[in-house]
Amino acid sequence: MNQSRTQVAIVGGGPAGLLLSHLLHLAGVESIVVERQTRAYVLSRVRAGVLEWGTVGILRDAGLADRMDREGKIHDGTAITWGGGKRLFLDIKQHTGRHFMAYGQTLMQEDLDSAIDRWGGTIVEEAENVMPHDIETDTPWVSYTKDGEEYRIDCDFVAGCDGYHGVSRTVIPAGVLREYERVYPFGWLGILSETPPLPELIYCNSPRGFALASMRNPMLSRYYLQVSLEDDIDEWPDDRFWDEISRRYPDDIAADIVTGPSVEKSIAPIRSYVAEPMRHGRLFLAGDAAHIVPPTGAKGLNLAVSDVYYLSRALIEYYATGGWGLLDGYSDTALHRVWNAVRFSWWLTTTLHRFPDQGEFGQRIQESELDYLSTSDAYMAAAAEQYAGLPL
């Protein structure tokens, strides 16, 4: 058995785990990240692309923003279209004084990776059978195997940043863990194409189903279509994808969409999920390990960042003063923000997607909701505040 010791053992090297390691390091707190996949694999996953202004601030304060500030695109708001040509602009700048940044999660992950390499942090990759132990005691530890050898990390705290399919949540006793879930009856088919994107993000409610036009950089577009969960990726060659996009968007918007071969294509199921509490003993969950939101509204990555912000603050306070105040409050503080984002993502998903049983009545209700949103300054202000993300 190979033994080592650190202050915080971090399970999972996605954005949550790496950002936590980096924020702790800036305050002189040691950690080791244990990741199941190779770092190259983690970097290759195509994920979200919208950073709330609060997230941007955290990355800037942590010295992680050089490339983001060069290559990310600042937006003042986002558009929604419905009813065969109606259109609104959710003006976040006007209503909140903030903006958001279009910047791919993949790039953020690369920035974190290189920052951690620069200060010489430890990211163990290809760790198998990772398992937290004794989280209800003062001496928790994490075990794993790598290249056939067994390892043990003794620590003060375990941070479960291992995503929805991770192991950390499973060590919380069944009598303690409460789970809340909604599975939506459709998925998102997403593509990347090396074509210039539309200048704004445009969400689309159409009787044929939801669509979204987004971007990664001036020559990389990201588009999504709501599809049936039974659909197979092979049933969606590029021609069919672009044809369907142009049927869902109003003609003038469709005419501006530059099509081209896809360089990535995948179908993701859509769900809302929350696990409570986000702490048990000396185990603290952060990011997708504790909650999943539908991608509509792009809250997933931003919630991972806000969890990690709260958790890093709490751990830093503990090491500076021995105080448990913020650690004891972590689960409630994080969950308050999580449920708000879960509710907003559910609302935006429900308002923009075609549900199997909604009928003509449901379609009209959605369109009326969007009509009202577009004419009410009060409703717009509320929606803009939510899209922008509540202050930390």
**Contact between 297 and ligand APR (CB under 6 A)?**
no
295 is catalytic: yes
Among 81, 295, 314, 327, binds ligand PHB (CB under 6 A): 295
Instruction: Name 382's Cβ contacts closer than 8 Å, sequence gap at least 6.
Output: none
Instruction: Tally Cβ neighbours within 10 Å of residue 324.
Output: 12
Please give the residues from 240 up to 279 whose contact with ligand APR meets the rule CB under 6 A: none
Q: Which residue has the tokens 């558009």?
A: 79
Instruction: Name 169's Cβ contacts closer than 8 Å, sequence gap at least 6.
Output: 160, 177, 275, 285, 289, 290
- Per-residue binding letters, 298-337, with ligand APR (x by CB under 6 A): --xx--x---------------------------------
Dihedrals phi, psi of 128, to nearest 5 degrees: -105, 160
The amino acid sitting at 255 is A
Upstream peptide bond of 277 is cis (omega within 30 degrees of 0): yes
The nearer residue to ligand APR, 214 or 366, going by C-beta atoms, is 214
Instruction: Return the DSSP state at 153.
Output: E
Cα 219 to Cα 84, 213, 287, distances in angstroms: 28, 14, 30
SS3 378: helix
Cα(124)–Cα(145) distance, integer angstroms: 11
The nearer residue to ligand APR, 163 or 250, going by C-beta atoms, is 163
Instruction: Name 66's Cβ contacts closer than 8 Å, sequence gap at least 6.
Output: 111
From the candidates 295, 309, 318, 330, which is the catalytic residue? 295
**Contact between 42 and ligand APR (CB under 6 A)?**
yes
Find, among 135, 168, 141, 139, the residue nearest to 153 by Cα: 141
Cα(318)–Cα(28) distance, integer angstroms: 12
**Contact between 341 and ligand PHB (CB under 6 A)?**
no
Instruction: Return the DSSP state at 177.
Output: -
73 is catalytic: no
CB of 194 to ligand PHB, least distance (A): 15
Q: Are strands 283-285 and 157-160 parallel, antiparallel or unpaired?
A: parallel
203 is catalytic: yes
Find, among 124, 123, 122, the residue nearest to 146 by Cα: 124
**Contact between 49 and ligand PHB (CB under 6 A)?**
yes
Options 148-156, 289-297, 328-336, 356-364: segment touching ligand PHB (CB under 6 A): 289-297
CB of 137 to ligand APR, least distance (A): 21
Among 31, 35, 52, 65, binds ligand APR (CB under 6 A): 35
Options 7-15, 52-60, 206-214, 216-224: segment touching ligand APR (CB under 6 A): 7-15
146 is catalytic: no
Cβ atoms of 125 and 13 closer than 8 Å: yes
From the candidates 299, 309, 318, 353, which is the catalytic residue? 299
**Element containing residue 60 per DSSP (H, E):** helix 53-61
- Per-residue binding letters, 160-199, with ligand APR (x by CB under 6 A): -xxx-xxx--------------------------------
Options 32-40, 47-55, 126-134, 328-336: segment touching ligand PHB (CB under 6 A): 47-55
95 is catalytic: no
Options 14-22, 242-250, 257-265, 339-347: segment touching ligand APR (CB under 6 A): 14-22
Among 11, 16, 20, 48, binds ligand PHB (CB under 6 A): 48
Interface residues with ligand PHB (CB under 6 A) are 48-50, 201, 212, 214, 222, 295-298
Q: Which residues are catalytic?
A: 75, 203, 295, 299, 387
